[in-house]
Chain A
Amino acid sequence: MRLIKNKVELNGSGTVTLCPEEPEDMWHAYNLIRPGDLLRASAIRKVTTTQDTGSTISSRVHLNLEIRVKNLDFDPQSSQLHVGGQIVNETPHTKIGQHHTLDLELNRNFTLEKEIGANGEGVGWDSIAVQMLKDAVDEGGNRRAEAVAVVMQEGIAHICFIGQFQTILKQKVEMSVPRKRMGGSEHDKGMSKFYQTTLDTLLRQLDFNTSITSMTSSEGVRPVLLASPGFVATSFQKYIQTVATNTPGLKRLLPSIVVVHSASGYLHSLSEVLQSPAVKTILADTKYARETKLMDDFLEQLRKETNKAPYGPREVESAVDQGAVGRGGGILIISNRLFRSQDVAERKRWVSLVDRVRDIEGGEVRVLSSDHESGTRLDGLGGIAALCTFPIPDEDFSDED
């Protein structure tokens, strides 16, 4: 995402103009834009005018519309963001108060305004929003590291793209492979058919050019991680090699394939994949690798029952109150799902908690992407957890809730 214009006031209100450049930027926009914000973007609207005679003419017009955001709809698979709301600026074709859904497009600027009302009803550009904006605007251009992972087992393959902030399940291949039977070769047949389908799907998702002319192209191939329990991934790699002997264009893909072990063919096995040494060397210092490491540390503490690893909203707040998440290793782990809450008070609660840990307690705050495997794990724990500097007594919150 490119930052075109930044006019954020000291009090936290202000406008920002951004230009999304790649699909993942839509995800950032999804996190930045909140209900109540003002969003200005170009739109195509069907305008119907009634003539004096009563006949109607409808035409499509390009407009620059500003809407007050009411809801957001994000489709992670196609990275499309639809923002619905009521129009606030007047144009020759629309009236104020009409509803419109803006479809944000790549390489088209949009302007986002967050206000702080006189009575503080809006949240404006709070610390989290500013942090997100920083994350979104990639100044160094150094977060290109991406990988494609195929997590598979017999008959099931998940093809997903691992980005900086998102793991997108692109496609799931599911096939009924006959089991081995006495004197039957159906299993082998079924497996090679499964490999073939998976490879075709993978190449389609990669937009991989298998023609011979592509041999000379210098475009890089993203690392492809093949992960499975047992020998499925190895066999799949072998299968690709066999196919590559006939389709030379495929040879380009071969060096970027890494086979790793995973416990199952389901997506949550991805954490094991990302922790494997082979993958770590390829995707050394990416955000999700750090996040995964953090979650593992946390779970380790939890397992050891050191009482230094509370999770869940109440528990963590109580730990922060006791000052356990502070200087000297206190880490607040929070999923960005919490910041997407529709409820302003809810968001304020978390933002203030984050600010407090960071600014007052001196602890570290890690915002995990809920679209990553680690974030999903965190969401399972209630979206928030903490690593404390000292053990805190186990309180019983069972009365509430």
Chain B
Amino acid sequence: MSRHRMKTVSYDDDFDDDGYDSPEPEEQEFLEQCTKEVLGQLRSGEPSVTATRDEVQEALWHYYNDVEKSVNYLRGKKAKEIQKKQTPPATAKPKVPAYPIPPPTTSPQIAHFSAAEFFRDSPWLNVPPHRKADILVEPLYPRMGLLGGAPESGGKVSKLAALAAARKKKEGEKTPAEATPAVATLSADKTPETPAAEAKPSPLSLRERLAANDKPRKPSNGISTLRSLGKGSPAPSPLKKSRPEPAKPEVPTEPGPEEPVENGQADHKEKEEPEVNIRAPPSGFASTIVGDSTRPMMTEPSHLHSNTADLIRIYGQDLTEPFDFAGPSPDDVVVNAQSSAKGFKSKQPAAKSAGDKKAQGDLAGGMGNLSVAEKVNVKSKNLDVLSEYKKSNRKKSANFVVIGHVDAGKSTLMGRLLADLKAVDQRTLEKYKREAEKIGKGSFALAWVLDQGTEERARGVTIDIATNKFETEKTAFTIVDAPGHRDFVPNMIAGASQADFAVLVIDSSTGKFESGLKGQTKEHALLVRSMGVQKIIVAVNKMDSVQWDKERFDEIEQQVSSFLTAAGFQPKNIAFVPCSGIQGDNITRRSEDPNVSWYTGRTLVDELETSERYSHALDKPLRMTIADVFRGSVQNPLSISGRVEAGSLQVGDELLTMPSGEKATIRSLEVDGDVSDWAVAGQNVVLNLANIDPVHLRSGDVICHSSSPIRNITSFTTKVLAFEHLMPSMVDIHRGRLHVPGRISKLVATLDKGSGAPVKKNPKIVAPGSVARIVVEMDQGVPLEAPTRVVLRAGGETVAAGLLE
């Protein structure tokens, strides 16, 4: 930024601002006369002094054109200045009280001239006092004290004081020897009643300048002193000599040599005006770093502030933020008062400065936002989620899990379902087909709709659950495709925990059915039942491989239904559908194969649609098990997904994650892939979180509201149905995605299946198929609460499933 240009600009501004009020010509002439007279008297008097025309006119104005008084005043002033110049900062003090200093400024500054006061509202408030002392390295001391006064004392004089401090500092830097005393006395500066020892010149001269300068210029302005202080209007050059020039090497625009010349040519206004305006505005750097909000709203940026700003703001105001920038700054108030008083004068500059302020305020705000602990504030709409939900009248929705032995054709069946219902487009299918054939697994193409993992595709086996959606006219379904392999039963448990009902896929081909029944067909069916699933649809798959043999179907139906009834499913909740996933018979369309004519029942989709509406615990406290933690997008760097198990939530809610106990805020959320403001139990949601570190979130953690948190427990009593022998031993505890190690520490009793009454206390071992009450302990705290269904596994087998008590 060109300093020179700025200079000119400021001059112009100044001129506009302080422009003469075009006094009447007679007045002007009279003034001229008086001025000459005063100048002459000054020159001839003893000691001879020179004064600028401006000064003289100002003095005249003050004394109502009384020449004598003006001469006396000016002489006194000049004499003092000369004295000062000769004996640098030592003398010149006693005059201070003579100048109109607003009394209120003094006391608050004194009051605030302590570190404790200064840091009162700063973020590191709690630092013990003895520590604060460390912060107060000496050079900072005056700065802070002066600065600290600024916010409260109406800005005016404190600004001056701040300037003085800055100058003092520079002085001190120049002459380190003097620095300490100068610094020490600075506080005294501000109190007129204390005749400060020394170091006075700068504030004094400044005030003088202001007093002397402003008055003649604004004869009509009653509050000119105030105003000049606030604005830092330019001072006439002769007074400059009082300023310790050498102490300001960084203000090259005020050339020292010029001064004598000016002194000599006091009446050359034109000459001195540019000099007067050599006041650098704050550098772009300074204002960027520091923001301008605390600065008095000047119509013209003055060197006063440029001097103070760069030094002080950086250390003081903006970092400590002693006052919020919400209201107008005290300087603003003054400027506004001025502009209202003489609206025509400062309209333009005021507007300009307003814009200026806004921009800089933004900058300051932006800087604030960059702070380390950035907190995202999401406004909650405070919806009544339950009534919103009742109003919303959504389509009936249901989650179902697809279970069955490995290679029963679960994924393929679901792929076929999605393909036939046009939930997957044909092009994608063709692509899968090509790719599958390329690696010699053509028959897996349909399964690839759900098996998206590279490993899953390479091995042709589902590893993790996959969810997908499709809609019929009546219902929006969410498929949870579970893996069948025994090693991935934990994943299947996670899937089953999200399901309302289950589709059991059975491989009807010879031998496969039998091996499946011993394997995961049985385990899965028992698991979904013990996890609370009531309804099960049995899809007897691969019927094409047995030529749609009715006998085979009947045999399977008979065996499976007897097993399922034994597992606790009610016969009315069991349905059988013969189908072929690979060919698509009896899935969405009836089979045209003549061999299937014997089957007149519903297709799989029709069977799915018979599912009734499932009710969820909407009014219970929020519970949701995190199924996945992932990076959603650039806007949402941290997202979690899962199914809301109980309660409701909405955007802006503060959540508690357990077991970490960390808080997070919902930035936004999606229900079934659509952005929404709220979600209720039973819905599959993606929550985009803010204000939490991802390390605190793991799949299996539980989300709740801090108003009704779930507790972390290390031990629980549970009533279980034993699938295997139970004895005190190590087990894996599963609840949805939650998978933690634990141990059965005590077998409390075996219970009667019907009544639940204890049969035998402290059994040594619990036989498979019996119901028992056991105590399970865990090493770390786990968020579990009654009544939750848990599954206990050991050595790759499900040993028990039960309900927390």
Name A's B-contacting residues (CB within 8 A): 155, 174, 176, 178-184, 186-188, 229-231, 235, 261, 263-264, 266-269, 271-272, 299, 302-303, 305, 310-311, 315, 376-377, 380-382, 394, 396-398
| Chain A residue nearest in CB terms to B732 | A264
User: Within 8 Å CB of B698, what residues of A?
Assistant: 155, 174, 176
**13 additional contacts (CB under 8 A) given A176-B629, A176-B697, A263-B793:** A178-B631, A179-B627, A180-B453, A181-B630, A229-B490, A263-B732, A264-B490, A264-B796, A266-B732, A302-B725, A305-B765, A381-B729, A396-B761
Closest beta carbon of chain B to A239's beta carbon, Å: 12
- B184 contacts chain A at the CB level, 8 A cutoff: no
Contact A263 B729 (CB under 8 A): no
Bound-state CA distance A269–B453 (Å) is 26
Contact A380 B762 (CB under 8 A): no
- B455 contacts chain A at the CB level, 8 A cutoff: yes
User: Within 8 Å CB of B274, what residues of A?
Assistant: none
- B362 contacts chain A at the CB level, 8 A cutoff: no
Contact A230 B762 (CB under 8 A): no
Contact A380 B765 (CB under 8 A): no
Report 12 cross-chain contacts, Cβ distance below 8 Å, ordered by A residue: A176-B698, A176-B699, A180-B453, A181-B630, A182-B452, A183-B452, A186-B631, A263-B797, A311-B728, A377-B730, A380-B728, A394-B764
Which among A174, A264, A267 has the highest number of chain B CB atoms within 10 Å? A264
| Chain B residue nearest in CB terms to A380 | B728
Report the count of interface residues on B (CB-CB < 8 A): 46
Residues of chain B in range 462-502 having any CB-CB distance to chain A below 8 Å: 463-466, 468, 485, 487-488, 490
Closest beta carbon of chain B to A46's beta carbon, Å: 29
Bound-state CA distance A58–B532 (Å) is 70
Q: When the two chains form the complex, which single residue of B488, B627, B732, B795 contacts A230, counting CB atoms closer than 8 Å?
A: B488
Closest beta carbon of chain B to A16's beta carbon, Å: 36
Contact B631 A188 (CB under 8 A): no
A-B contact count (CB 8 A): 108
Contact B762 A396 (CB under 8 A): yes
Closest beta carbon of chain B to A153's beta carbon, Å: 8
User: Within 8 Å CB of B730, what residues of A?
Assistant: 268, 376-377, 380
Contact A310 B764 (CB under 8 A): yes
Majority secondary structure of chain B interface residues (helix, strand, loop or mixed): mixed
Contact A380 B629 (CB under 8 A): no
User: Within 8 Å CB of B468, what residues of A?
Assistant: 182
Contact B741 A179 (CB under 8 A): no
Bound-state CA distance A214–B699 (Å) is 41
User: Within 8 Å CB of B116, what residues of A?
Assistant: none
Given A231-B463, A272-B795, A380-B730; A180-B452 close (CB under 8 Å): yes
Bound-state CA distance A181–B468 (Å) is 10
Contact A264 B466 (CB under 8 A): no
Contact A302 B629 (CB under 8 A): no
Residues of chain B in range 730-787 having any CB-CB distance to chain A below 8 Å: 730, 732, 739, 741, 743-745, 761-762, 764-765, 767
Bound-state CA distance A235–B487 (Å) is 15
Q: When the two chains form the complex, which single residue of A181, A264, A271, A398 contacts B452, counting CB atoms closer than 8 Å?
A: A181
Q: When the two chains form the complex, which single residue of B464, B487, B488, B765 contacts A179, counting CB atoms closer than 8 Å?
A: B464
Given A176-B697, A230-B463, A231-B463; A272-B796 close (CB under 8 Å): yes
Bound-state CA distance A377–B731 (Å) is 11
Closest beta carbon of chain B to A171's beta carbon, Å: 16
Contact A311 B764 (CB under 8 A): yes
| Chain B residue nearest in CB terms to A272 | B795
| Chain A residue nearest in CB terms to B728 | A380
| Chain B residue nearest in CB terms to A309 | B764
Contact B464 A180 (CB under 8 A): yes
Contact A302 B727 (CB under 8 A): yes
| Chain A residue nearest in CB terms to B468 | A182
Closest beta carbon of chain B to A233's beta carbon, Å: 11
Contact B794 A263 (CB under 8 A): yes
| Chain B residue nearest in CB terms to A181 | B630
User: Within 8 Å CB of B464, what residues of A?
Assistant: 179-180, 187
Which 4 pairs, one residue from A and one from B, show the smallest C-beta to C-beta distance? A263-B796, A268-B730, A229-B487, A178-B630
User: Within 8 Å CB of A229, what residues of B?
Assistant: 487-488, 490, 796
Closest beta carbon of chain A to B516's beta carbon, Å: 19
- B390 contacts chain A at the CB level, 8 A cutoff: no
